[in-house]
Structure 1
Amino acid sequence: MEPSASDEEQIKVMTLEAFADTIVPGNKRWPGDRAVAGVSDDAGAVAAGALELLESPAGGLSPWLAGLAAMLNAHAENHAAGQGIELDGTVPAFVSLDYDQRVALVVRLTAWDHPERQGWVNLVMFSNMAFDTGAQMHTVDALAAGHPGLLTLGFAPPDDDGLWRFPDYSYRRQLADLHPATTASGSPA
């Protein structure tokens, strides 16, 4: 029987979440969570919105995500066969791998000499970007929602008016004088 469109969507989502979790591991969202391996006590790329960022039209990967998920599962099946790993057929092949097996496969797919490297590196970059920057949403909204990556990194919240001002210079010294035409909001005139 052919999988339905909703089955295909679930396979894509679980596979991409498992990939993102391999890049920035997080804690399980519920006890039976299979996509997130749960090797961290903290939230990772999945909780930070990796799937939303990957599916964002602005990122340009959205049209290829179903194909990448299918390719990743095919690679997982080949990897499992080559390593003597028995897969659980109730979940996508990549999701069936344990965390260390997922890492081993991703390392192979992102190796310099792998012909599909660029596609996998793109998924790696978007997974990191979702955690490190919350790029799929406005930074003020991400901080207000308790974005796990921004909180982990110690990203400073804005002032009460929604603007960031930094009275303490990051290098602990002023590097240059403000341009005389800089407005009160910090914008150039």
Structure 2
Amino acid sequence: MTIEAFADTIIPGEKRSPDDRAIAGAAPGGGAVVSGAIELLETPGGGMAPALDALAVSLNDHASEYAQERGLVLDTDVPPFVALSFADRTALVELLTAPENPEKQMWVALALFSNMAFDSAAHLNTVDALAAKHPGLMTIGYFQPDADSVWRFPQFSYGRQLADLHPNTTTTGSPA
């Protein structure tokens, strides 16, 4: 729940249900959590999975300290970071990722994984993610592949061709 709340702070979304406490509901649509931030963080290849429990404990310790310094009373039914308002979560994340914070590297890494889940669906096959209407890919307007699952771009993204094809380019686009 704590890591979900962190991911939601990086890319907010709407609550999954009225009693959802991890997602603050600060933005419409699906944010980092619904886009699969936890699934991506838990993939072995990312290297973050073994550290997630320790990161949650540390984040909650920081949240408790943040609340105490500001005279905030936190709901004890949920972890301290989750109990913070969205504005306070955001302010704490700003402190944790500030250039002068000696712990910055781990919090920035956690934020990057939250972004990757949303804007590239790095933990999913892209064709499958698009078929499932992945919230991040839909939000950024990711183009659908052709019927054969290959991406082709008949119109140039800059509105004009930037260079001529090399004469030895094959029909698959590879140089000969």
Q: Give the TM interval when normalised to the shorter protein.
A: over 0.9
Deviation (angstroms), 1:112: 0.5
**Matched residues in 2 for 1:99 and 1:52: separation?**
22
**Matched residues in 2 for 1:40 and 1:140: separation?**
26
Aligned with residue 120 of structure 1, among 107, 125, 133: 107
Aligned with residue 83 of structure 1, among 70, 73, 89: 70
Deviation (angstroms), 1:180: 3.8
1:93-132 pair list within 5 angstroms: 93-132=80-119
Alignment of 1:177 with 2:164, yes or no, is yes
**Matched residues in 1 for 2:170 and 2:76: separation?**
61
Aligned with residue 50 of structure 1, among 37, 45, 54: 37
Deviation (angstroms), 1:40: 1.0
Deviation (angstroms), 1:181: 4.1
Aligned residues: 176
State the TM-score, normalized to the length of structure 1: 0.90
User: Structure 2 stretches of 5 or more lacking a match?
Assistant: none
Residue identity in the other structure for 1:125: L
Q: Which secondary structure does the structure 1 equivalent of 2:61 belong to?
A: helix
Q: Which secondary structure does the structure 2 equivalent of 1:25 belong to?
A: coil
1:54-69 pair list within 5 angstroms: 54-69=41-56
Aligned with residue 186 of structure 1, among 169, 173, 176: 173
**RMSD over equivalenced CA pairs, Å:** 1.1
Range 94-103 or range 52-61, more displaced: 52-61
Q: Which secondary structure does the structure 2 equivalent of 1:118 belong to?
A: helix
CA deviations 1:157-178 (Å, max 9, x no partner) are 0001100000111111111223
Deviation (angstroms), 1:53: 0.8
CA deviations 1:144-166 (Å, max 9, x no partner) are 01001110111100001100000
Give the equivalent residue in structure 2 for 1:143. Answer: 130
Q: Cα–Cα, structure 1 residues 17 and 160, in superposed 2: closer, same or farther, change >3 Å? A: same
Give the equivalent residue in structure 2 for 1:5. Answer: none
**Matched residues in 2 for 1:75 and 1:158: separation?**
44
User: Structure 1 stretches of 5 or more lacking a match?
Assistant: 1-13
Q: Percent identity?
A: 60
Give the equivalent residue in structure 2 for 1:22. Answer: 9
Residue identity in the other structure for 1:179: H
State the TM-score, normalized to the length of structure 2: 0.96
